[in-house]
Amino acid sequence: MSNFLPNSLVKKLGVNPLFDTEGFIRVHEEGKRATAIRLNPQKLRECPFPSSGMVPWCESAFYLEERPLFTLDPLFHAGGYYPQDASSMFIDHIIRRLEIGAKPVYALDLCAAPGGKSTLLNSSLHPESLLVANEIIKTRVNILQDNLTKWGNANTVVTNNDPSAFDRLPGYFDLMVVDAPCSGSGMFRKDTDAIDEWSEANVKLCSERQQRILAESIAALKTGGYLLYSTCSYSEEENEEIADWLIGTGDFESIEIAIDGDWGIEHTKSAEHAAHGYRFYPHKLGGEGFFITVLRKIAEQSTFNRKRIKPEKSDVPKGVLDTWLLDVDEFLPFIHHDDLYIFPKVYENDLKYLQNVLYLKNAGINIGKLSRKELIPSHALALSNVLNTNFQHLELSLGEAQNYLRKENVTPENISADIKGWTLAKYKGMSLGWMKVLPNRINNYYPKELRIVNL
């Protein structure tokens, strides 16, 4: 047995005669972990680091030869990629196998912070989908919003609600992703403190909490909709038994997802209803411990009356966005707390539905503040994928870009005399934020709260 892994956990896993206990213990003792990133396809097409190969179950994802200091890379701050454990990226494969991305859908990431799965959904789903990313813990919502801001899409709503709040949106979503809070045994290599905190009693508590989360929110999934339930736990009580419990309610059926046998993913079946599950073990593949199951809702789910809401008269001055956006007519502009936002016009009614029952942290893209003289553009607009691509910019060197991210003075050598006013700071063609070029200086508008302190 291992000297530091919980013996009760290792014994339970070892009940399976095919389980490689020695390999499992050895990979934890060695501690060497794979580093992977997933590219933002709207911003970056090639891996910016030396790669040891692609993540086989996720498009645009790569294993890196070594872990870089992401804080030093301007492309990270520009939203060019997201460092994410490769096991979690399996959701991309599920979406492609089920062809969920073939048409626009309503999707909910229920336990979304810090945002890895939400940014993945933003890339994998149809670009005209509506994504609601929710996080119950207030202290974690800001990092979720920051990561989605970097990703740059307008079709996203960030909410801060208990899962039970979604019971007020019956039959609303086509897809629900529930990466449930768990006992964390799959993260032992990443977070060694989790080993000391793990116990069988905690596994039981987590299983009960997972059932509560699902029971109080699952009405939001429409008939025929898909539930992707996942954890970073190895315990059956939090994984296969949860799938059995859901199927036992009569509301769900299990869906099998075809996988390549060379990937090292273990295909399991639950004890009671033979529900399909997919387990990721670090001694068998390049990723941390992970479990996921796919269920389809078969019960008849009533929904609410989606009556058309009369549009309110806009208080946004006409033409104010014409020079800033690529497709002005596609978006609904609105003002909230003195900030100007845009949201996909096709989802105007949905924004009202969501506002009526949820606390919204952010909706669409914050464009900036309207002053009497001009629009003061926001950082979110600079990182967005809706900004006019012809907007004037300055291309910075690595050192200049790092100084910009530290919110220091930037004096690019290649500045043209024709550049005046609001200007994008770019690095390798990707926007980092705003500068304002004045006759005798350049003002750095990188947000103070995001500045890099140690570079």
314 pLDDT tier (thresholds 50, 70, 90): confident
Rounded-to-integer distance, Cα 247 and Cα 299, Å? 11
Residue 417 has what pLDDT?
78
> Which of 58, 182, 206, 232 is an active site residue?
232
Both tokens of residue 259?
């996988």
Q: Is 226 helix (H, G, I), strand (E, B) or coil?
A: strand
pLDDT band at 312 (very low <50, low <70, confident <90, very high): confident
pLDDT of 416 reads 78
How does pLDDT run across 68-78, given as a tens digit for each residue?
999 999 999 99
Six token digits for residue 286:
């390049």
Residue pLDDT, tens place only, 396-448: 999 999 999 999 988 877 677 789 999 999 999 999 999 999 988 899 999 99
Residue 26 clears pLDDT 70, i.e. is over it: yes
Tokens of 334: 């609105």
- Tell me if 121 sits within 8 A of 101, measured CB to CB: no
Contact by Cβ (8 Å): 296, 226: yes
Alpha-carbon distance 252 to 299, whole Å? 7
- When pLDDT is averaged across residues 328-346 and rounded to a whole number, the result is 94
| Domains defined for the chain, CATH in brackets | 392-455 (3.10.450.720)
Strand 360-363 relative to strand 106-109, pairing: unpaired
Give the CA dihedral 363, 364, 369, 375, nearest 10 degrees. Answer: -170
Q: Is there a contact between 63 and 57 (Cβ–Cβ < 8 Å)?
A: no
Q: What is the mean pLDDT of the chain?
A: 95
- The pTM assigned to this predicted structure is 0.96
CA 161 to chain centre: 17
Q: Residue type for 292, please?
A: I
What pairs with residue 268 in β-bridges?
A: 277
Is residue 201 a known part of a binding site?
Answer: no
Is 327 assigned to a binding site?
Answer: no
251 has binding-site annotation:
no
Of the pLDDT bands very low, low, confident and very high (cuts 50, 70, 90), residue 455 is low
> 60-69 pLDDT, tens per residue?
999 999 999 9
193 is in an annotated binding site: no
Please say if 232 is a catalytic residue.
yes
Q: Is 112 annotated as a binding residue?
A: yes
pLDDT in tens, 1-11: 556 899 999 99
Peptide bond into 114 cis (omega under 30): yes
